[in-house]
Amino acid sequence: MSGLTEQDCSHINVTPLTGVLGAEIDGIDLTSGLSDRVVEEIEHAFAQHSVIVFRNQNIQPEDQKRFTRMFGEFGVEPYVKTMPDHPEVIEVVKDKSEIGVKNFGGNWHSDWSFQEAPPRATILHAKEVPPYGGDTLFANMYMAYDTLSSGMRRMLDGMRVMHSARRPYGIDNKLFGTAKRSMTIINTEEAHAEYAHPAVRTIPQTGRKALFINPVYAIRFEDMTERESRPILDFLNDHATRDEFTCRVRWQPGTLTMWDNRCVQHNAMNDYDGFSRRLHRTTVAGDRPSI
């Protein structure tokens, strides 16, 4: 974890969104280069708050890519078509004509947890947003773990969960099936692969344990059937997204939000029929989850 304290962060202004998760950062222009000290202060705020929000950032894809690279290599973006001139960027879009259509990301989840090394972070920049609706909810997986009973924590500390992309991206996809008109989603047999990750992972920058499950990609416990796993996973999924663990980001044009996929779940609200919503997404590569 960074050796900085809140008092040391003199180059940025950090305002918490809630008492449990999220913060807005002022005093940053992402169209220009950032000094090593500013990046260090952003990293500190990111470790402290897990979700950080920058407002009024009039940036282009190249600016977003440069900002992303300040925190690591680009993540791999499977099953979704990327921008033609920017293969590191996904354009997350739902058109105003798509009435009653499922939106992309409209379930609680952690991005690409089905990968062998899921992304460390996601960075999302708002290009076009509805006049109301389309907010994103975030949930704190540190708190989800900390508030479990001691018996449940002991049990989960030694368990692994199988993650797979087959629900949204498999051949028999039923989850995001209607989210294809504005976004090109690729359904393939490859999405049926499974990777085992610890049910509880430790985040190196903080040394804290976080629950690492989600209702989209976490299929079952290792060496258990889906039916046997379902009661425990259903309980954990409900517990993890309790209101008191969450914050809400209201998007404005130019808002850029970065969140820690290792200890945060998120959910994009689909309450803006008749309006368009368009954002650019990049991810920062991560490591294999460890206990």
Domains and CATH numbers, the chain: 6-284 (3.60.130.10)
Catalytic annotation present for 109:
yes
What does the alpha-carbon distance between residue 163 and residue 220 come to, in Å, rounded to a whole number? 7
Tokens describing residue 30: 């992402």
Confidence of residue 6 (pLDDT cuts 50, 70, 90): low
Answer yes or no: is pLDDT of 94 > 70.
yes
Of these residues, 49, 125, 262, 266, which one is catalytic?
266
Cβ atoms of residues 23 and 52 within 8 Å: yes
Catalytic annotation present for 281:
yes
Question: How many beta carbons lie within 10 A of that of residue 268, not counting itself?
Answer: 22
Of these residues, 120, 201, 262, 281, which one is catalytic?
281
What is the percent of the chain where pLDDT is above 90? 84
Mean pLDDT of 152-177: 86
Confidence of residue 187 (pLDDT cuts 50, 70, 90): confident
Q: What is the pLDDT of residues 231-287, one digit of tens each?
A: 999 999 999 999 999 999 999 999 999 999 999 999 999 999 999 999 999 999 999
What does the alpha-carbon distance between residue 18 and residue 263 come to, in Å, rounded to a whole number? 16
Largest CA distance in the chain: 52
Q: What is the pLDDT of residues 174-183, one digit of tens each?
A: 655 555 556 6
Tokens describing residue 60: 């282009």
> Scanning the structure block, which residue is given the tokens 């590191």?
88
3 state SS of 26: strand
Of these residues, 109, 125, 166, 220, which one is catalytic?
109
In this structure, which amino acid lies at residue 209? K
Of these residues, 111, 197, 201, 260, which one is catalytic?
111
Cβ atoms of residues 252 and 124 within 8 Å: no
